[in-house]
Amino acid sequence: MASPTMSTHPDIAELRAKYELAAESPKAKAVAGLTFLTGLYLAISPWVVGFNGFTTMTVNNLIVGIALALLALGFASAFGRTHGIAWIAPVIGLWTIVAPWVIHPHVAPGAMIWNNVATGIVALLLGLGAVLMGMEKKERGIR
């Protein structure tokens, strides 16, 4: 953890201010908002699609969806402090895509598979958008 003098250092304050300014762009707000909605949908999707009898997959989607939504809230509220973990969002998207085959390899119904593949692709693309926004800021010399 940074010492009190380091956290108040002018360069650190300027860096955080630049990331917070970047988070105020319409593109950043759209990515964070859509990622949050994708996480919420993923969390409730077992009940929307009907994962009856697939408790493990229901719990997986609930936990992973909540994690994605919380990550998006972090992007929306403190991008300057959470940009370093933006890579987790595309990983969640990839996991969402492959989860039906990993958790229920031979019995996953088509609706469950299509739901997770579509939601996973959206999460993957939004996560890559968040990662690229952080990289774009680095290239401009903000980091």
For residue 108, the SS3 value is coil
Lowest mean pLDDT among 14-18, 42-46, 57-61, 83-87: 14-18
The domain tally of the chain equals 1
Lowest average pLDDT, out of 24-28, 40-44, 92-96, goes to 24-28
Average pLDDT for the chain: 83
Q: How far apart are CA 54 and CA 104, in angstroms?
A: 8
Q: Give the least confident one: 18-22, 69-73, 81-85, 100-104.
A: 18-22
Report which DSSP code applies to 142: -
Nearest to 120 by CA among 58, 54, 65, 62: 65
Average pLDDT over residues 112-131: 94
Confirm if 74 and 115 have CB atoms less than 8 A apart: no
pTM of the entire predicted model: 0.78
Q: Is the confidence at residue 90, as pLDDT, over 90?
A: yes
Query: Which pLDDT value is given to residue 5?
Result: 58
Range of the domain at 68: 4-139
Per-residue pLDDT band for 91 (boundaries 50, 70, 90) equals: very high
C-alpha span between 35 and 18 (Å, rounded): 22
